[in-house]
């Protein structure tokens, strides 16, 4: 008697075929196959910048144009880089002197010293920039580490182990220093699309200082979260959720309490004086 085909075999074959295609990742679960389309962003058109502020402005525009979200992972100052470069130079010199002493003690000719420029790698004092390098990583970089007991596991987490990153560094160009993009990893392990980009919380709610001040006035005058949500949608291009509005109201309330606490503390100190 022929074996009956198990339900889901066709789905397995289809998922395997999709997995072999470029740019698609199949994540196996116990019950289903989740097919996740990976995205690769176009490279930046500009690689050289006159300053870090120019690069930071460009990165923000680049993220908006390519539907990517990056965050700063690490940043090294010029002072820290120079201190590290000098320590490495001192270590190399100490290692060379130790090799010379060993050679002379053994009756051998001392080794030749490798030619290095004095203070190689040290940024000169005429550089006006305070930062040496910076690395941006995708908002989905890293791995999620649950801290709960597992009774109610989180269904949505931001870290996905995405390898996408952008690295930049100061470079000597003639008598001046410029900022150069040195390393680009633009392939994500998740989809990048306008709908996904607009779904991030920091993109759903973008307000000016004037709008924030008016929203704070609405809050203090007793307007509900629904009324504030309608105001934001009517007066801006933001499309926040009710959850975003509640978070904004909580943040504004805490800022107001902190400001009032500072005023009360100052008044109390004056009364004691």
Reported as a single tens digit per residue, the pLDDT across 34-70 is: 344 577 899 999 999 999 999 999 999 999 899 999 9
Q: Where are the domains of the chain?
A: 42-113+125-147+155-183, 205-264
Overall pTM surpassing 0.85 (yes/no) = no
pLDDT in the model for residue 35: 40
The residue ranges of DSSP E strands in the chain, in sequence order, are 24-28, 33-37, 48-49, 70-77, 131-138, 165-173, 176-185
Q: Which of 209, 211, 242 is nearest to 225 (CA)?
A: 242
Q: What is the mean pLDDT of each run of 10 residues along the chain (273 residues)?
A: 48 45 42 53 93 94 92 92 86 85 85 65 84 94 78 71 93 90 92 81 81 91 92 86 90 80 43 36
pLDDT in the model for residue 33: 39
Q: Which of 132, 139, 171, 151 is nearest to 73 (CA)?
A: 139
Reported as a single tens digit per residue, the pLDDT across 104-134 is: 888 888 887 776 655 567 888 878 888 999 9
With beta carbons less than 8 A apart as the criterion, state whether 136 and 71 touch.
Answer: yes
Ramachandran region of residue 222, left (φ > 0), alpha (ψ -120 to 50) or beta?
left
pLDDT in the model for residue 260: 58
């Amino acid at each position: 008697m022929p074996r009956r085909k198990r339900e889901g075999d066709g789905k397995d074959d289809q998922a395997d075929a999709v997995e072999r295609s470029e740019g698609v990742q199949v994540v196996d679960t116990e019950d289903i196959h989740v097919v996740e389309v990976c995205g690769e962003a176009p490279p930046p058109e500009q690689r050289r910048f006159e300053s870090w502020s120019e690069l930071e402005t460009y990165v923000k525009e680049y993220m908006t144009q390519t539907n990517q979200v990056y965050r700063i992972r690490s940043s090294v100052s010029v002072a820290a880089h120079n201190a590290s470069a000098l320590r490495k130079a001192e270590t190399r010199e100490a290692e060379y002197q130790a090799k010379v002493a060993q050679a002379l003690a053994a009756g051998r000719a001392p080794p030749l010293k490798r030619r290095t420029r004095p203070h190689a790698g040290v940024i000169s004092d005429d550089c006006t920039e305070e930062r040496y390098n910076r690395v941006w990583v995708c908002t989905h970089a890293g791995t999620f580490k649950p801290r709960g007991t597992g009774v109610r596991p989180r269904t949505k987490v931001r870290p996905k182990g995405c390898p996408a990153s952008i690295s930049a560094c100061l470079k000597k160009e003639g008598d001046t220093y410029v900022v150069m993009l040195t390393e680009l990893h633009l392939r994500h392990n998740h989809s990048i699309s306008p709908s996904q980009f607009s779904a991030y919380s920091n993109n759903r709610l973008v307000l000016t200082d004037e709008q924030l001040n008016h929203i704070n006035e609405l809050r203090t005058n007793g307007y509900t979260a629904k009324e504030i949500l309608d105001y934001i949608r009517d007066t801006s291009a933001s499309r926040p959720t009710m959850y975003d509005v509640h978070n904004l109201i909580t943040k504004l309330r805490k800022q107001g309490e902190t400001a009032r606490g500072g005023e009360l503390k100052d008044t109390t100190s004056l009364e004691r004086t």
